[in-house]
Structure 1
Amino acid sequence: MTEKEKQPNEGEGNRTAARAYNEDQQAFVEKGGVEQAAREAREAVEGDERAELDAARSEAKSRAKEHDPEERRDYSRGK
């Protein structure tokens, strides 16, 4: 990347990147991407991938340095 191609420093927060992100998210919602992603996630959790996802969750939790006492989640739902 040349000096001309580098994005200028915008200080705290990057408004250009934030604007692009927001536009992309809006387009995703408008084209129905949320519903499709939700269907795919439900199929993964309720289908053949459940064991793999549960194992990944357990592994990730085992690496956490500590438990957030404010966190209250019921992972038993849907089992």
Structure 2
Amino acid sequence: MGNANDTAPRNEGEGNRSAAKTYNDAQRKFVESGKVERAAKDAEHALETDEAEELQRAEAEGRKHAKPHEQKREI
């Protein structure tokens, strides 16, 4: 059995609590930064430019890998 000084990543089993915490902390920090509104406007603008087709292709590709009930869900 390893000791507290081991640097090897540990298996957290079903679900990865430390990764979830890291993700949630980053999301909270982003929301609290006040940058959400600007990011939303940038994304909306991207859908009105030449980038729209590329974004739609990427979304379609991502949906191919989603569970069936998620494939048709409106975002």
User: Per the shorter chain, which TM-score range?
Assistant: 0.5 to 0.7
TM-score by length of 2: 0.61
RMSD, matched Cα: 3.0
Unaligned runs of 5+ in 2: 1-5
The one of the two structures with greater contact order (alpha-carbon pairs below 8 A, sep at least 6) is 2
Partner of 1:5: 7
Deviation at 1:58, TM superposition (A): 8.8
- The structure whose residues are more often helix, as a share, is 2
Partner of 1:22: 24
- Which among 48, 51, 62 is matched to residue 49 of structure 1? 51
Greater CA radius of gyration, 1 or 2?
A: 1
Partner of 1:40: 42
The code of the aligned residue for 1:6 comes to A
Q: Hey, what's the Cα distance between the residues in 2 that align with 1:27 and 1:15? A: 18
Deviating above 2 A after TM superposition, structure 1's stretches of 4 or more consecutive aligned residues are 47-54, 56-61, 68-73
> How many aligned residue pairs are there?
65
Unaligned runs of 5+ in 1: 74-79
